[in-house]
Structure 1
């Protein structure tokens, strides 16, 4: 594996760096989008900055040119992320839209949907959210119960609840997975819909976290009528459409974000500057272990890049990137708390937010236990978990689950 830029990549890096040097003064401060989720002024600045990045060719790098992207590869996207971190400026606001939902529309959407939605998404004019998880369907995504009932005119009426929906409070549209057929096995009876977040019957409520922010939401859909033109990928084909979103989610996590290396360097520098921590053997040992995990994660990302450059599709093994990232970051927060003491949780401390927020990420994007099961079964070839739902119509599952519990 050659980690040096090719001449073409070096030229592209210089182009990106020059653009950022010319425009970095126009960028808002580096700040977590989630930490600023309730700050309308900051969100407006991030929207405007995403628009500038799009105009400069630094948003939608891997999108096809016909949809406003650059038609480049994942390596160029990583170069952009690295240069954004080097310049100390934020990246795009709508990571979920551009990273996961836009590619889904490109792959499965109609020509009309692509024409209507991709441009405003790319420029930050319309932010999108992903409405998959439900109170009883998280890691087992195929267990969604939100119903979409077809009407005589071909439209659908949606009823149900979604939860842990990032950015729903300021999104214009959501991509919603709902059940359209209960008489087939659970993976076969779902459909993907585009839902306007201001549609009649859509209610968004913030979920207040221990960190103090309400970054996630629960969303209720009560008799929300959606036209047939808002179906993405065909009726009852929602599982295949959802897998496209999940594949790009793995890729987004696996390749990391523009701020990851920057924050890791800040973390190491903060501990090194502490006179006690710098001399403490236990602290240095923990720091070395965390650094090893982050280094392994970096090279795993390089391996993913190599596979992508050869035309391969990222598989379930990419879930390890999520597990490693979250666990290393939590360990880093714990180490800072041990070194700094109670003051680490003071709101004035720059690490307080990270320490309180990160443990919840163990459940985001699939719990660690489910990801490990998936890797064990699909990568290592271990025996699968027992399943009572295989081949059973969704409408009969609860009866089967009760029978299994009785046994």
Structure 2
């Protein structure tokens, strides 16, 4: 199974499928869920935009209703994993610019082969091209492919975002950064015998075990912020594992840093995305502060103002 197909399974089954199950019509569930379950459809998320990443609700892609049966969508999306392979995409678009930014958004299920859809892959540090930018030029979308009520797209998206954070934090090696081979390498090359290095590795091992228990607790509690807690811990732990693995590799790791087949170098470069994908660590900390610790919300001078009146960079 290729990495692209594995990613497709995660996006389709973990993110899109449950959202369609929750919000979809009977016809939509019958049309899409069997293909997702059978891994016959590749899906992508069309959420983030050049001017709407961490502040996703400020998205500007517009969907205008032309008649009772069709919408016209124009805009740009970015960082859409596997969009170049996808059959369908879950799209968020602004349908009422006179409502506050969290309102006036609607979710659509987009045929990625529709006229007006252009996909351009983006090359990553690792040399791979999993992320893409997507251009939408007056794309016609039937109203039968609208997911959830009009202007309720933010609530639909929260279902997907919560599943994404939980899915990205199943274990510390959910992203492919596992501590076990790092420990094995330390024993082989003798760095395990160094007290300082052994103490650092033991600390990571303790964090890995604690994360496993936290994942189990979060899965049982099913709180909205549970995924943020484990996603924050997982992504930062995986980066630390990648960094110490590269350090233990020593000269070999430095020599092969440009070789995509070098596991230590690949893990180091690939791990940079982990504290961004699925919501940055800063966003996760804000969610935890507000929803778990009960701290005051961050001030937002644009709260309640119509999206059309909000100043954007």
Give yes or no for TM over 0.5.
yes
Question: 2:308 matched to 1:395?
Answer: yes
Partner of residue 52, structure 1? none
**Structure richer in helix, relative to its length:** 1
Question: 2:33 matched to 1:118?
Answer: yes
Question: 2:239 matched to 1:324?
Answer: no
Compute the displacement of 1:385 (Å): 1.2
Question: 2:67 matched to 1:152?
Answer: yes
Partner of residue 139, structure 1? 54
Name the count of aligned residue pairs. 309
Alignment partners' CA distance in 1, 2:176 and 2:124 = 26
Question: 2:295 matched to 1:382?
Answer: yes
Alignment partners' CA distance in 2, 1:155 and 1:93 = 28
Check the 8 A contact 1:251/1:314 in 2, yes or no.
no
Counterparts of 1:28-47 in structure 2, within 5 Å, are 28=1, 33=3, 37=4, 43=5
Partner of residue 337, structure 1? 246
Partner of residue 351, structure 1? 264
Partner of residue 19, structure 2? 104
Gaps of 5+ in 1: 1-27, 38-42, 47-91, 308-312, 403-407
Compute the displacement of 1:260 (Å): 6.6
Check the 8 A contact 2:172/2:234 in 1, yes or no.
no
Partner of residue 198, structure 1? 113
Alignment partners' CA distance in 1, 2:310 and 2:124 = 33
> Deviations for 1:133-191, whole angstroms, at most 9, x for unmatched residues?
11111121111110001103431111111111111111100000000000111111000
Partner of residue 283, structure 1? 197
Counterparts of 1:3-402 in structure 2, within 5 Å, are 28=1, 33=3, 37=4, 43=5, 93-256=8-171, 263-275=178-190, 277-307=191-221, 313-345=222-254, 346=256, 347=259, 348-398=261-311
**Structure richer in strand, relative to its length:** 2
Alignment partners' CA distance in 2, 1:250 and 1:259 = 12
> Deviations for 1:286-334, whole angstroms, at most 9, x for unmatched residues?
1112112211110101112332xxxxx3321421211111111111111
Alignment partners' CA distance in 1, 2:106 and 2:63 = 8
Compute the displacement of 1:259 (Å): 5.6
Check the 8 A contact 1:344/1:352 in 2, yes or no.
yes
Give 3-state SS (helix, strand or coil) of 1:129's partner: strand
RMSD between aligned residues:
2.0
Give 3-state SS (helix, strand or coil) of 1:222's partner: strand
The 3 A distance-change label for structure 1 pair 120 and 388 is: same
Superposition TM-score, scaled by structure 1 size: 0.72
Superposition TM-score, scaled by structure 2 size: 0.93
Partner of residue 82, structure 1? none
Alignment partners' CA distance in 2, 1:285 and 1:257 = 19
Give 3-state SS (helix, strand or coil) of 2:310's partner: helix
Alignment partners' CA distance in 2, 1:228 and 1:174 = 15
Give 3-state SS (helix, strand or coil) of 1:239's partner: helix
Higher relative contact order (CA 8 A, sep 6+): 2
Compute the displacement of 1:257 (Å): 8.3
Between structure 1 and structure 2, the one with the greater Rg is 1
Alignment partners' CA distance in 1, 2:31 and 2:74 = 25
